Chain A
Amino acid sequence: MRRYLARKILIYLVTFWVAVTIDWAIPRFMPGDPVQSLLSRMQAQPESQQALTGYYTKAFGFNVPIWKQYLNFWAALFHGDLGVSIANFPTPVWELIRGALPYTLALLVPAILLSFWAGNKVGAMAARRKGLDNTVLPVSYLLTATPQMWLGIVLAWIFATILTIFPVSAAYDLSLQPTWSFEFARSFLHHWILPFLTLFLVAFGGWAIGMRNMIIYELEADYSNYLAALGAPTRLIRKYAYRNALLPQITGLALALGAIISGAIVVEIVYSYPGLGTLTLTAIQNRDYFLIQGIFLFLIVGILIANFIIDIAYVLIDPRTRVGMQGGS
């Protein structure tokens, strides 16, 4: 187990290092002058151009040797200094991210956990049951092939524009203040349901397909046939099959995190949900480079933490990783 986790942590450290280096290197090694490229896109006034050129050159630290720029970048990072937002000058990037983070987590965490749970259950039920399989499988394929933003648009159109059951934008009624009151919680939930449902449905399809296929393989395995030959009830055999099928699904969860987070980014934009996704869009539109950089690093750290949690869960669930045998990978 220690070896397994140690290897994982090494991978995460290298990933973090690579991500930070990419973050640092892209403005420096891309063709053209990054400062000019940023300014030309901002279409600023000539007077402000000058001031901004000076600001950017200093902010990127272009006036020192390149190895020193790299070290300075790391030093700033460890001080929690992600720079200052350009569009919302002079708010630090970190503060903007901290404000957006709770909303993104409120969407992502339930969407990931509930879709994983429900998708696996429904997929397991559908395996080798003709009637259910013929409905669950096509629907799941349809869902997993759907771009999240489009599903978001369609749900918003049906439930907000036509039926007017749910609101389309923001995370709560803007006449309210975010407090721990019942009224605010109700408004929050009301705004939360559609974006959550969008993320949930697309992810659900993937889990249902994966689990259905895994269960079919497990039911063909020798241990299943042996149990059946001993006269074990089908329920018991399926229970064992489910447990075995769950392991690769958990590996799949780690693999799918990136796609789910990408989905959250675009879905938040559709619903103007004030999380990291909407922040990303404004950063892109304003060419707010430090903000983009900060969000990128933040997403990486989030994914690494989530991966680590999944690894721990894997160790807890799969006894083979605990006794140092194969498995996990």
Chain B
Amino acid sequence: MRVGPRGEIADVGTEIPASVAEAPLTPTGAPQTAPPPAPRSEFLYFALRNWKFVFGLSLVLGFFLLALIGPHLTPHKPLAFTGPTDGRPSSDYWFGTTSFGQDVFSQFVNGLRAAFLVGILGGGLAWLIGATVGFTAGYRGGAVDDVLNMLTNVVLVIPTLAILIIVAAYVNVHSYVTEAILIGLTSWPWAARAVRAQTFSLKTREFVDVARLTGRNTRQIIVTEIAPNMSSYLLMMFILLFGGAILIGASLDFLGLGPSEKVSLGLMMNSSFLSSALLLGSWWWFLPPGLGIVGIVGGLYVMNVGLDEIFNPRLREL
């Protein structure tokens, strides 16, 4: 698997490197001489010894915990004008206050919640569409493939942000769920292409032929035969879409196209920027939201590299 710019898995045309196409199919190369661990614990065995996976996962889980319990740690409401204006971080206001006297820490932890919501929902929806389109196109082939491929290519060319700008100019985005749905509907194409290419190489295998001979229908074959053989691929795809959705969401919020009466990391950057926090040097206001995003998305990407090494024995050394 190749992680491209902004964390996309760019499919390498139809010619996927053999190591990628093969890796998920063969049981991970545990040496035959040693007693092979049971399948589930085998994953854990390699996962816990991979520092990239452990580091990335702990980073993401750490932020997730902070998002869960953070809002209960502070008495200040995120949008209430409670404190001094432009206050430096103090024991009362851990991350300082905005120039309107709002608590930055409270905004930050609530913003983290929004980021996770948009990431999971938006990434999840994109994953669902991408996998469905990719499986159908790859397995059916022929005219179905042509049509879906055209659709994929068209959505691929139109930049997500551009289409969201024009939609958000008309749809009043009031909730993060709406925002996540808009993101999910536009960011699936590369995933569909990746799944399609994988499905192509899998559908000619003997075990799929056998399944077809037993008279199972297309959906069953895809769900029970093809998908499990690329489960690692599908998992990594979800992680990348998750991170991507957070980044797109932040850009939308920064442009003022997200839910404006809520709190999000992008909106924090937007309001700190518009209130010239830069010129005033209120670093405690504009640094946390970006660090939060870098932490979550970077953690996801590093975790993905770790997963790649866990699933693909060839990458394990080094």
Contacts and interface: CB of A to CB of B under 8 A. Distances in A.
Interface string A13-32: 01100110011001100100
A206 B162 contact: no
A69 interface: no
A280 B255 contact: yes
B10 A251 contact: yes
B257 interface: yes
Given A153-B286, A266-B251, A289-B169, A299 B162 contact: yes
A265 to B, nearest CB: 7
A241 interface: no
A161 B280 CA distance: 8
A315 interface: no
Given A255-B190, A303-B157, A144 B166 contact: no
B161 A262 contact: yes
B82 interface: no
A214 interface: yes
Nearest to A209: B3
A259 interface: yes
Interface string B138-181: 00000000000010011011111111011101111000000000
Interface in B238-275: 243, 247-248, 250-251, 254-257, 266, 269, 272-273
B255 A206 contact: no
Interface stretch (A48-56, A79-87, A103-111, A321-329): A321-329
A18 B290 CA distance: 35
Given A210-B5, A256-B4, A157 B286 contact: yes
A1 to B, nearest CB: 15
A213 B166 contact: no
Interface in A251-270: 251-252, 255-262, 265-266, 269-270
B154 A210 contact: no
B160 A258 contact: yes
A162 B283 CA distance: 11
A149 B247 CA distance: 10
B157 A262 contact: no
Contact of A329 (B13, B163, B279, B286): B13
Interface in B260-318: 266, 269, 272-273, 278-279, 281, 283, 286-287, 289-290, 293-294, 297-298, 300-302, 305, 314-315, 318
Contacts of A150: 250, 269, 286, 289-290, 293-294
A34 B170 contact: yes
B159 A258 contact: yes
B169 A258 contact: no
Contact of B154 (A15, A27, A206): A15
B206 interface: no
A258 B156 CA distance: 9
Given A168-B279, A209-B3, 20 more contacts: A22-B163, A30-B171, A142-B298, A145-B298, A145-B300, A146-B298, A147-B254, A156-B278, A157-B283, A213-B2, A217-B19, A248-B13, A252-B4, A255-B8, A259-B5, A259-B8, A265-B251, A284-B257, A292-B169, A326-B14
5 contacts: A15-B153, A15-B158, A146-B298, A154-B290, A213-B1
